Amino acid sequence: MDIQQCQSFAFLLPSWSANQVSQGFPNHRSLLPVELELCRGGGGSDYPQCEIRERAERKRKKRRRDLEGESCGKCWKAWKSGGSLEIRWKLLGMEIASKVSIEEKRWTLNDFEIRKPLGRGKFGHVYLAREKKSNHIVAIKVLFKSQLKQSQVEHQLRREVEIQSHLRHPNILRLYGYFYDQTRVYLILEYANKGELYKELQKCKYFSERRAATYIASLARALIYLHGKHVIHRDIKPENLLLGVQGEVKIADFGWSVHTFNRRRTMCGTLDYLPPEMVESVEHDASVDIWSLGVLCFEFLYGVPPFEAKEHSDTYRRIVEVDLKFPPKPTVSSSAKDLISQMLVKESSQRLPLIKLLEHPWIIQNADPSGIYRSLSPV
């Protein structure tokens, strides 16, 4: 299936290459593996495209000077002549080896062998796939343009792609690239072969303190990374988490995330995980993710969210009042309750900072430092 230049879907054509697949995807097809840092200009959710283009051009010129200046003149001449060669360089502090071809091609559906379905969502489906040239196993998320347009989430999708494609963290699902045709958009994602954390929680009903602490610590590190790049996730919950090949937890959905230097007003996310400031329609900042992580920790340990109620209005009331009650069963340590209580605080500035969370006694005593939960029991 050839790629069509669809003007009606031009929102998915940011200034960086649509088929750029960065390190971690073997034998990718980009002229230069340009790593665009998250834009540091402006205070809204959109990236100034002109600045991104300027930054990319400066990086290309600098990389060319580096190649020429480090006794790599022969390599650069071979690169320009259209040959294919093995080049080693240091990219953002990481040593990578890439086999690069001068011919830049767009991904198409024909580049992948589509296998079993992995799941379905509101706007499309997710399939297991194999990239034919490299044999790399990925997940392909197929989104239908008609449904995206009907729900008016084109801008949200573009923002999600721009943010997630630039993130590099072991506890964040990689977005390698995307392509599209006349009716669909295809996202090329890292395959998390142990599936959805939500299903695992449903099967177990609740997690042991060791398991919960390991996941919470890993997510705290991922959120510290995100906040350092001025990204607020705004929708941390079990349904948006996957488990990788070793059982490591990964944040997998960035549909409500935003890149910003300012406080925000948009009410978004999931009812049971909403912080008081969103319920009350006041400005919020990155501390909304600390609240959501506290709710998640409670649900991991008790199997239900802390402010759940029969009526939505009662849930809203309990959130605003921080009506936090710990059930008698299952048995949970006082140290775990202390951590949750320090995260679920109405005044956002008083919530336990994520760095301090990692130093909390409950985390130190229970979380596996590797970030990988190794089961010693059914839960």
| Mode of pairing for the β-strands spanning 175-180 and 184-190 | antiparallel
**9 phi-psi bin (left φ>0, alpha ψ -120 to 50, beta other):** alpha
Of 215, 223, 185, residue with least CA distance to 197: 215
Q: Cα separation of 54 and 128, whole Å?
A: 36
**Distance (Å, whole) CA 234 – CA 225:** 14
191 is in an annotated binding site: yes
Distance of alpha carbon 209 from alpha carbon 330, whole angstroms: 11
Residue written as token pair 């502090």: 93
239 is in an annotated binding site: yes
Does residue 242 come out as left (phi exceeding 0), alpha (psi in the -120 to 50 range) or beta?
Answer: beta
Q: Is 222 marked within a binding site?
A: no
Find, among 292, 252, 272, the residue nearest to 118 by Cα: 252
Active site residue 235: yes
CA pair distance 366, 197, nearest whole angstrom: 19
Q: Which of 111, 235, 272, 289 is catalytic?
A: 235
141 is an annotated ligand-binding site residue: yes
Distance, CA of 109 to CA of 185 (rounded, Å):
11
User: Which residue matches tokens 């909390």?
Assistant: 360
Give CA 201 to chain center in angstroms.
20
Give the Cα-Cα-Cα angle 57, 60, 61 (nearest 5 degrees): 90
253 marked as binding residue: yes
Q: Does 192 show up as a binding residue in the annotation?
A: yes
Angle between helices 209-228 and 287-302 (to 10 degrees): 170
Measure the CA–CA gap between 262 and 43, rounded to whole angstroms.
6
Q: Which residues are annotated as a binding site for ATP?
A: 122, 141, 190-192, 239-240, 253
Catalytically annotated residues: 235
Binding residues: 122, 141, 190-192, 239-240, 253
